[in-house]
Amino acid sequence: MVDTAKPVIVASKCLEFEPCRYNGQVISLKIIRRLEPYVTFIPVCPEVEIGLGVPRNPIRLVSSNGQSRLIQPATGVDMTEEMQGFSDKFLDALPEVDAFILKSGSPSCGSKDVKIYPSTGKVAATSKGSGLFGGAVSNRYPHLAIEDEGRLNNFTIRERFLTKIFALARFRETKAARTTKSLVHYHTVNKLLLMSHNQREIRTMGQIVANHEHRPLAEVVGDYENHLRQALFKSAKKTSNINVILHAFGHFSKQLTSAEKAFFLDNLANYRTGKIPLSSVQSVIGAWIVRFKDDYLNEQTFFKPYPKDLIEISDSGKARSY
């Protein structure tokens, strides 16, 4: 299977793109560099866009009457309305996108865990929440893949993020084709991937694709997309991944030697206990797909959810840039 889908990702501009942080620095981020050949980035710095220079006096979220206000302590200027206005205007003008990679902890871009202060003075933060731009993104695109750069340091989170953005990008291409054939193909090649996320939704999606009511294609595609969002909303559970792997294993079990079966089951046990990632088990099945020329499994995105060059078995386990 040749995957031509190219995810569209909005990213904080300070993450590898330009030295536009408040201190005039740029954050080196490996995942951005690795993704560049395979995605289309739309970089943005909301703080620069509302007129703040580089370098600039820091801004912070300050709690006022139950609301978070965006304040620049050094000047006392309240930039809440400017940031909210920019956020709405920018998001309204966006083309269809698949994901966001946002700067963690940023009072503008942070999607969660942003410090909120009781005042502009030298006081400790008393709570956490979303940055104004990051919060607007989360509210408008709850179905998309939204991560901050620190969380993408974690291998499992990164793997799930990559899987989701390419699944969404493939569907965006499917919609653009505007044919029943393209929708059937999407459902067919993503069947095991979607099964690993939500078996109830995959059954419903199969009925939608069958279209026994002969509904207009646009209506069918819209209905399918709603259920696709639900299917991908939560990450695939390990037990579901194992069930899909065992289903695929059944395609070859009669052709394998006892030693090969034992090797596979040992790998599966190591995945179950967290000693190896899912991709390690998928690669074993992948070798058998080639060996036994299984065309059905060869088309399944479950075994090739994203380009292999993006596979990197590293995990800091910490939410910081790498």
Q: Which residue from 216, 191, 218, 219 is spatially nearest to 205, judged by alpha carbons?
A: 191
pLDDT, position 319: 40
Which of these three, 99, 130, 149, is where a domain ends?
149
Based on the domain organization, do 43 and 172 belong to the same domain?
no
Which of 103, 131, 149 terminates a domain? The answer is 149
For residues 87 and 47, membership in a common domain is answered with: yes
Is residue 150 very low, low, confident or very high in pLDDT (cuts 50, 70, 90)? very high
The domain containing residue 245 runs over which residues?
156-322
Looking at the structure of the chain, the number of domains it has is: 2
| Assigned domain for 168 exists | yes
What pTM was estimated for this model as a whole?
0.91
Q: Residues near 81 by Cβ (< 8 Å), separated by ≥ 6? A: none
256 and 130, same structural domain? no
Q: Is residue 13 in a domain?
A: yes
Q: For 250, which DSSP code?
A: T
For the chain, give the mean pLDDT.
Answer: 93
Structure-derived torsion over alpha carbons of residues 115, 118, 124, 125, reported in degrees to the nearest 10: -20
If asked whether residues 114 and 263 sit together in one domain, one would say no
pLDDT at 312 over 90: no
C-alpha to C-alpha distances, 301 to 127, 282, 305, nearest whole angstrom: 41, 11, 5
User: Does the pLDDT of residue 318 top 90, yes or no?
Assistant: no
Q: Are 182 and 246 contained in the same domain?
A: yes
In a domain, 64, yes or no: yes
234-277 pLDDT per residue, tens: 889 999 999 999 999 999 989 999 999 999 999 999 999 999 88
Residues 89 and 218 in one domain: no
